[in-house]
Amino acid sequence: MNQSDLMAVRRTMNLNGTWQFQLAGQAGESGEQRNKEQQNPPHRDDASWNTIQVPGSWEEQGYGQAPEYARIDTWTKVREYEGLAWYAQDIDVPSNAQQANYVFRLKGVRWTSRLWFNGNEAGERDSLLTEQTWDVTPWVIPGETNRVEILVDNTMKLPLAGSHIHSLHTATAWGGITGGALLEMLPLQQVHNVRIEPDMGSGTITVQCAVSNPAAFSASPLQLLIDIQHPDGTWLKRQSCEIDLDQNQIDVNTEVNADGSSRAHQDVYMALCPIALGDEHAIVEWSDENPALYRAVIRLQEGEQELDQVEQRFGMRSFAAKGKQLVLNGTPVFLRGYVDCCIFPLTGYPVWDYDHYVRQFRIAKSYGFNHVRLHGWSPPEPFWEAADEEGMLVQAELPHWSRFFEQQDVPAPVEIRTYLTQELDRLLETLHRHPSFVLFSLGNELIGANGHPELNALIERAREKDPSRLYTDNTGFGQLPAQDRETDYYIQSFNWHPPLESVLAAVPDTTLNYQSVTRLASQPVIGHEHAQFTMYVRPQEREKYTGVLRPTWLEPVEESLTRKGMMEKLEQYQRATGIHLMRSLKEAMERVRRTPDAAGIQLLDIRDFPGQGHATTGFLDVFWDDKGITTPDEVKQFNMDVVVLLSSKARTYYAGETIEIDVIGSHYGKKRLEDVTVHWRMVAVTDERTLDEGTWNCRDIPCGSVMSLGSVKVSAPIGGGTAFRVEAELRCHRARENSAHSIVHSSDRLATVTVARNCWYGWSFPLMKMDSDRHADMKRIWNTVKELQPLLVQSHEDRVDHVDGFRLLKQGDYDLLIVKSLTSNVLDYLLNGGRVWLHPSAMDLSDPVETKYLPVFWNYLMFATQTGATMGMQMEKGAAFLGDFPQDGASDWHWYHLVNGTPAICLDTVQGVTPLIEVVDHFHRAKRLAYVFEARAGKGRILVSSFPFTDTALMKRPEAAYLFQEMLSYVCGEQFQPESAITAAELLGMFKLQPIQFTL
């Protein structure tokens, strides 16, 4: 088939380029002044005219003023302007041999625009999510120069500032025409409102469209000719459809239609054309793995004359809810999603760049993601074209994050309901043709515990307009079981929803899942803004901000770090906290995959978030660049359609104990896995030795299942402290096709394919046995902490009140004094040459800092009351004081019970002391914190640790007992030679001096 030239029947004048421009009244000016400015456009010869480029924002072209202050909780523009601005351009409209409809279009406008065409006011438009269009047919003068004038107002028209489409924390209060301007000439007899509805069950499509035929035209027979191009490039047999001018006329109003043209004084006919696609070629389904697109060319004919022609791409796909599962093309699909918060660090507004979105999706898919949730916005058309082509499953949202729907019996303001209804209608009509568009939410975190009748009404309206999508009343809020909520699926927090808590979002127990939430619903449940773990700030990204935004949150952070001498440790902090983030994220995501009836997750985010104090939640920065803390292959181990999971109650074991690890298959691939085998091995981390291995056959794994495949039973390694990992692979002979992470084992007798692999880390420690050869002579230890006495057999036990430093040093019978609190006699003993191990509790510290194992949730500035606002710990690899205790310099799961809830010691008043185990504080506060430090004090030496070794229950854990032994060996040995020094005053400033009872 030869393609016809669309320009033969439709013409488009690209109006991008240089326009006249002038600012016309800021937001702070009086209403009287602004109304006066809005009366009529300035004269073409007005001396105030400047120029501007369309597309583009005002700020990036030098308009606006430098802000009066720099924000510390988000970025700041180089310049900004909120108010009115005039655009004008003279355009030469070519003469036409035939009559036509003329439609004027603006793309990427925030927020309202008013149009004058040849001096005639055409009206105001206010869509944030779709094109703003006008039918200007009555005022166009073909063959002459036509004057176009536009008044754009970027001020907040409605109290919806929380939406990310214009929040200061995300897309900013931008202004301008950022997508372009054009004038279309459309034939009077035309095709419009094309909808192509796939029916996967029958293998057919229905082409539905409206045909306009002016009443004054003759009622000659009209025909639609439809050509379909298969994804392989071949064309199917042409289909035709007669337009019955006597039967199919529909009622229309005189409002402007979706394409901008008016149907007033026209007869409009509905055409329904069913087409079987499978007669000539096999039908190719559109999916996240195979985003195959068909192309339809629809011609309106009168005899041999072509009156109009339109094109539309479509995908053959179905998307539905079936019980608690989401089903794509009849097969369960797990949404591996992230949240897109409308972040554009160079422009401050959503870009109209197809390549930008292709890059974005390819990066996301390289890490295993197949889904993106749009947080309170819907992007420009290039985004959707790229999503269709790259295979992303998208949830769009209305542009608000408001509080108008929290109370069921309180209606939202009329103007809010009207605006949201209009945006809903416009968006659903615009997005219908995109197969990537599968889910829709009415906004972010809108409701209280229960639903709202006005949101329910909008859901019903959406279903009526487009029943091929799934809808929910809001993203994130509301309680399950749901009451008074009209939804197809739910998006609920897996971490915050009762009975769960965010501090338990990831723990060492890898048998846990989120069924306590999903069991409360009979429909699909997706995890809302999952994880939100953070790492350290990255000032090196400052140089990337070459556009209109500056990362002003960095200035106070860098100033603080510089004044405290912490900038030199920046790379160490970034490495340690980046590792900690990914370890926490892996477990939080695997916990969802262990949940049999979870439908998906939406991470917040895989990129950093620039606002709310700068939330460093991403393994990518805001520019979609790698931060160097993980790799795509590492993430895909727990973030693909097929995942193998290793499940065990504990991470730490005594040497020789039996470890039982359940192997779970989470299979959301497109085909049943048959002839499945599990291959596993245990590896020593230090030297990569294989300690044990095995394999077994297991039953087939159906699509959409989360099931146990059997268990690994193995003995914990014997010896000293040992870090090990258990690796598992799923292999099968008949796996799904086109697996991006499959590896063919051609050396096998029958070729097999590895469809998933993953690993799980554990640690083993010998039973506690104090050995005087290694841990010193217990009789030479004076212990005043009664909780430690079971560990220090044969040591001298006595009250701290009885410590006589002069006598102890003179007699030389004791090498170490163990105390819980700092007292005057202990200080005296230390300064005169004693060796002290201090175990302070939070009550003993002058400035205790609460910690938890998991990193800061989202951001301290927004969640300042969260438990333990620290970011993990960092230490030297092979640190002598840890002996053989296995560690790699960063937080890992065998530290969890040692540090979760443990107070950190603040070293801000002792700059010369270097922590042995440093607690990385959040970068806004940037305290110098430690769990362990050592120092010389006078003639003596002191080791301080806040680990809860005095907790008898904790000391029954293998890692706690072993760490205590290793630290005891160190503090009693010759290696205990602190380099830094501390004064008595500094000690008294850090620790509360506890009284003792003197004997008179």
Per DSSP, the residues of 545-613 read --SSEE-TTHHHHHHHHHHTT-GGGHHHHHHHHHHHHHHHHHHHHHHHHT-TT--EEEES-SB-B-STT
What is the per-residue pLDDT for 3? 37
Asked if residues 377 and 356 have their Cβ atoms less than 8 Å apart, the reply is: no
What is the per-residue pLDDT for 735? 39
Strand-by-strand arrangement of the 319-322 sheet = 319-322, 325-328, 331-333
Cα 920 to Cα 576: distance, rounded to the nearest angstrom: 9
What is the per-residue pLDDT for 501? 83
Burial call 542-580: b when 16+ CB within 10 Å, e when fewer: eeebebbbbbbbbeebbeebeeeebeebbebbbbbbbbb
810 CB burial (10 A radius; 0-12, 13-18, 19+): exposed
Residue with tokens 């443990």: 902
What is the per-residue pLDDT for 647? 97
What is the per-residue pLDDT for 734? 54
Q: What is the pTM of this model?
A: 0.94
Residue with tokens 């809302």: 528
For 743, phi and psi rounded to 5 degrees?
Answer: -130, 125
Burial call 721-758: b when 16+ CB within 10 Å, e when fewer: bbbbbbbbbbbbeebbeebebbeeeeeeeeebbbbbbb
Cβ neighbours of residue 647 under 8 Å, at least 6 residues apart?
510, 511, 594, 661, 662, 663, 664
Tokens of 754: 């590895």
Cα 624 to Cα 606: distance, rounded to the nearest angstrom: 9
What is the per-residue pLDDT for 279? 81
Whether cis (ω within 30° of 0) applies to the bond prior to 159 is no
Cα 979 to Cα 935: distance, rounded to the nearest angstrom: 7
What is the distance, to the nearest Å, from the Cα of residue 664 to the centroid of all Cα atoms in its chain?
Answer: 26
Asked if residues 899 and 963 have their Cβ atoms less than 8 Å apart, the reply is: no
The closest of 951, 968, 950 to 884, measured between CA atoms, is 968
pLDDT in tens, 873-882: 999 998 999 9
Low-confidence ranges of the chain (pLDDT < 50): 1-7, 30-32, 253-256, 735-740, 746-749, 1000
Cα 820 to Cα 833: distance, rounded to the nearest angstrom: 19
Cα 386 to Cα 455: distance, rounded to the nearest angstrom: 30
What is the per-residue pLDDT for 695? 96
